[in-house]
Structure 1
Amino acid sequence: MRPLALALILALLAGCAAGPRIDTRYSSRSQDSRVQYIILHYTSEDLPGSLRQLIQGEVSSHYLIDAKPATIYRLVEEDRRAWHAGDSQWRGRTWLNASSIGIELVNPGYLDTPNGRLWYPYPPEQIDALIVLLKDIVKRHGLGPEAIIGHSDIAPLRKVDPGPLFPWRRLAEAGLLIWPDARRVAELQKRYAARLPDVAWFQDQLIRHGYALERHGVLDVETQRVIAAFQMKYRPARFDGEPDAETAALLAALNETG
């Protein structure tokens, strides 16, 4: 084969291997980040078990944060989908793996004992590391304070993580989360203590907040579990799933600001 012909063939092959030439001078104004939510989990394992589960198993997350020392591991690039949310729904979006970043915290979760369920706390340094990471993610993706949610928010019928000892209020104090105003909650609680709204009202408010729930006016198991998920986040001292005046006040106060 002549040298010139060989050179032309090699040049064509190199062009094919490099992919098409794309002009990037123009950019649409109608776009935003693929990432709409950041979903927080606990692993129910120690670090070695968490790594095995998230690296070699069928589930994955973008980040894993160890407890002591507080170390942030990136397991999946943010522009790729991780398998952490499963069957999930929030504010009308479903199957949230495609539109979220998953963060797993090394934490045993809970232990069932004869005296009840024992939940494990989160070390302050682990939450400090989480807050630094969250601030970085929300800034880069242009996310608001409504974007950070728990696994129990998006799948309340099957998940309870990150659990009642996760310090959501610390995230609010760091400017990462909307928190109900205490004075407004006290004012509303007096009103609802005098006349508690019916179940349909609770269902409406929970749906407005973001939960996937049917509005049928019956206090069924599904409604109780969604109420419990909400209480676990905003009133972790008691998350029995019962619609009461304080829960109504918290819901109403949040929906006023959200």
Structure 2
Amino acid sequence: MKFLMTAAILLLAGCAAGPAIDRSHPAASQDSRVRYIIIHYTEGDFPRALDVLTNGQVSSHYLISDYPAKIYQLVDEDRRAWHAGDSAWKADTQLNFSSIGIEIVNPGYRDTEAGRVYFDYPRAQIDLLVALLRRIVERHQVRPENILGHNEIAPRRKSDPGPRFPWQVLAQAGLVRWPEPERVAAWRIAFEERLPDAAWFRQKLRRHGYVFAGKGEEGDWDAAARQALTAFQMRYRPARYDGMPDAETAALLEVLDGLGGDAAAQLPSEPAPYQMRTRWLGGR
């Protein structure tokens, strides 16, 4: 009887462990499912953000606190977090399936009589973010043009990480593309002579990656195109992001289009110092 009981226990243990799997022949044709990294601000303080992201209906892979700055991993990178929502970039939709989400503790913005004010990011947060991005990019081979803000993949409904997020610092770290200022200046002069029409701006925005509804390649400058252009301006021309076509925005679109998906941005040899500041931005 004792022998039968021992045999039964061993049999059950074997069933619970599952079949033996030989993993000694990995296929050459494989890569990571992660194609994008999406950057957010929390629009609230750390305790509230941590509670929402761990106990609520939304989540992110990482959360970077502010004072003190610290990285928290909330979701394993091989699992899906619910951070992107209804989203699209180029041919990809529902980017929760193919992205890693990083939330940064930041108040976001405050509406005042003088307009909407956005808040800067402490340098310690950005330093941690750069270090984290380097490791994620190395693990998953995420391309520079696929490190995006939430507002870029959902321009109709989101504004984070906002115009105060220092994208140029990420460019100086070699993580994202940045247009060469001299080329932008040259194209701006050309576009001041003759500004392209609405169809040109729509086409350039879509080539860049933005997905938006509207009147296709024809018609007036509508709300959907304006929202996409606002997101673009927040990233590349944060001094003014009114969503309206102008020569400088056209130059930025043209130069970035010329960089191509594989080209590295031409960056200054010495990164400019990052200075924290809060700035009043009227209107939006």
Which of the five TM-score ranges fits, normalised by the shorter chain? over 0.9
Contact 1:203 1:213 in 2 (8 A): no
Check conservation: 1:227, 1:241, Cα contact below 8 A: yes
| Amino acid paired to 1:82 | A
Matches for 1:1-258 after TM superposition, within 5 Å: 2-214=1-213, 215-218=216-219, 219-258=221-260
- Quick check: 1:44–1:109 contact (8 Å CA) kept in 2? yes
Could you tell me how far 1:181 is from its partner in structure 2? 0.7
TM-score after normalising by structure 1: 0.97
Cα shift at 1:213? 2.6
Amino acid corresponding to residue 231 of structure 1 in structure 2: Q
User: Cα distance, 1:141 vs. partner?
Assistant: 1.1
- How far off its partner does 1:31 sit? 1.3
Unaligned runs of 5+ in 1: none
Measure the CA separation in 2 of the matches of 1:19 and 1:147: 39
**1:92 Cα offset (Å):** 1.0
Amino acid at match of 1:70: A
Bigger mean CA deviation after superposition, 138-147 or 123-132: 138-147
Q: How many residues align?
A: 257
Following superposition, the deviation at residue 17 of structure 1 comes to 0.7
User: Greater RCO between the two (CA within 8 Å, min separation 6)?
Assistant: 2
Cα deviation 1:133-169 (Å, max 9, x = unaligned): 1111101112221121000000000000000000000
Contact 1:45 1:106 in 2 (8 A): yes
C-alpha RMSD of the superposition: 1.1
Uncovered stretches (5+) of structure 2, i.e. residues with no partner: 261-284
Q: Given residue 238 of structure 1, which amino acid in structure 2 is its aligned partner?
A: R
Asked if the contact 1:62/1:102 (under 8 Å) is kept, the reply is yes
Q: Deviation of residue 11 (structure 1)?
A: 2.1
Per the normalisation by structure 2, the TM-score is: 0.88
Q: Give percent identity, aligned residues only.
A: 56
Is the partner of 2:63 in helix, strand or coil?
strand
Work out whether residues 206 and 213 of structure 1, in 8 Å CA contact, stay in contact via their aligned partners in 2: no
Determine the C-alpha separation between the residues in 2 that align with 1:48 and 1:34.
31
Deviation larger for 12-21 or 203-212: 12-21
Give runs of ≥4 in structure 1 deviating > 6 Å: none
Between the aligned partners of 2:200 and 2:27, the Cα distance in structure 1 is 42
- What CA distance in whole angstroms lies between the structure 1 residues aligned with 2:48 and 2:80? 22
Supply the AA of the counterpart residue of 1:145. Answer: P
Asked if the contact 2:37/2:142 (under 8 Å) is kept, the reply is no
Q: Provide the C-alpha distance between the structure 2 equivalents of 1:28 and 1:203, rounded to a whole number of angstroms.
A: 41
